[in-house]
Structure 1
């Protein structure tokens, strides 16, 4: 199984003076889950990830970026929509993914509006009542390749 995880950036970032890989810059709750799985060598093989950045749009985990302080809002998400949907569709077309997993907060969702029509594979959203449940489902996804069974996917 190969899947693409679309993850929002985080407000919590490492304080860096020079650009670093995006995965190293972000330090929010979901990134701590992802990094812990990577450190423990438990990150699901075949699960690729891209980050939706309020500042940069679509960012690969190894793209070098510097510190910034821009928050996502509905206007910015709408502004990024064409770019984000286009880049996700291009990435899906260039790889043999079985699914796209989306882990975005409400402010980010307009950035991926229309993604289901742009790709020819299932798009699933990591949902939950609060950040803790979403984190639990993300942890299960990155370590097993599927979300928490409670999610029903």
Structure 2
């Protein structure tokens, strides 16, 4: 019956519930946007209450306006809490790919490599605002940025090449300098066993602060791609390897640990 008087009334109730729960884990900006939208709906309901020609309709709009004002207060409190938290700064260390585009002219590394991990990465970058600090470990060129233009090549990372990188102080210095510039809080190492070994050893000498989380993918390629996708979107990645725990276990002679039960970062991506 109410829908005949105001077709938007049922939608408004759904609208309020949706805004109450749709922004979990979002940025402070989105929480403020939610509050502004709900405030607008509360004002509209107050106007409808004054214009209602039946007491039950006026009571309904009054109740909905009060509900929406409560959501506004809650969203503003959440926005203030989110602003008080430090900003999550992800940093991806990823291996090159055996699958490449074979264009004759040099291409950016992010475009040259065309394996499954790079497809996941390129699909996720627009959602992240195309702002993801990262470095690529190339078997041919060493540590490069995603924007470095490289020619087509064919070189695999084997044990001998990995050992060359481990003995190369330049790679360690370059990685330490880039980490000092980016100041990440959340690092993921993505790649095959040789690549992970080289990168995690270089990270150990990078002088990371104790609050920086360092994870490495593990398992089959499907599991690794799922871990990469969830990490990119700041979702729980409990099936990754906790590199810091492995370092501590190595020093103490214990077993390497996995990531904690809920390793999702509570920090937020920059708005």
**TM-score tier (shorter):** 0.7 to 0.9
Structure 1 segments, 4+ long, off by >6 Å, are none
- Counterpart of 2:120? 33
Structure 1 residue ranges without an equivalent (≥5): none
1:148 aligns with 2:237: yes
- Counterpart of 1:3? 90
Change (3 A) 1:17 1:147: farther
- Counterpart of 2:204? 116
3-state DSSP of counterpart to 2:114 = coil
- CA distance in 1 between counterparts of 2:171 and 2:236 reads 23
3-state DSSP of counterpart to 1:47 = coil
TM-score by length of 2: 0.51
TM-score by length of 1: 0.86
- Tell me the alpha carbon deviations over residues 8-49 of structure 1, each in whole angstroms, 9 at most, x when there is no partner: 0000000110111100000001101001112xx213776311
Which deviates the most, 62-71 or 41-50? Answer: 41-50
What aligned pairs does 1:129-140 form with structure 2 within 5 A after superposition? 129-140=219-230
Structure 2 residue ranges without an equivalent (≥5): 1-87, 241-259, 264-271
State the structure with more CA Rg: 2
Q: Which has the higher helix share?
A: 2
1:47 to 107, 117, 132: 132
Which deviates the most, 119-128 or 64-73? Answer: 119-128
1:20 aligns with 2:112: no
3-state DSSP of counterpart to 2:205 = helix
1:104 to 191, 194, 200: 191
- CA distance in 1 between counterparts of 2:202 and 2:138 reads 18
- Counterpart of 2:6? none
Kept in 1: contact 2:188–2:217 (CA 8 A): no
- CA distance in 2 between counterparts of 1:47 and 1:68 reads 25
- The CA RMSD over aligned residues, in Å, is 2.0
